[in-house]
Amino acid sequence: MQNITIGRYGDNEGRVHRDESGAITRIEKTHDGWIEGTRDDGSTWIMFLDAAGSPEIYWGRCDPEDGVIGDGIPLE
Confidence of residue 15 (pLDDT cuts 50, 70, 90): low
What's the pTM value of the predicted model, to 2 decimals? 0.71
Overall number of domains in the chain: 1
Q: How far is CA 51 from CA 3, 33, 36, 69, 73, in A?
A: 24, 8, 17, 23, 18
Provide the pLDDT for residue 31: 77
The amino acid occupying position 7 is G
| Residue 28: domain span | 3-74
Provide the pLDDT for residue 13: 61
pLDDT in tens, 25-66: 767 667 788 899 999 888 889 898 888 888 999 988 887 776
At CA 60, angle to CA 56 and CA 3, rounded to 5? 90
CB 5 within 8 A of CB 36: yes
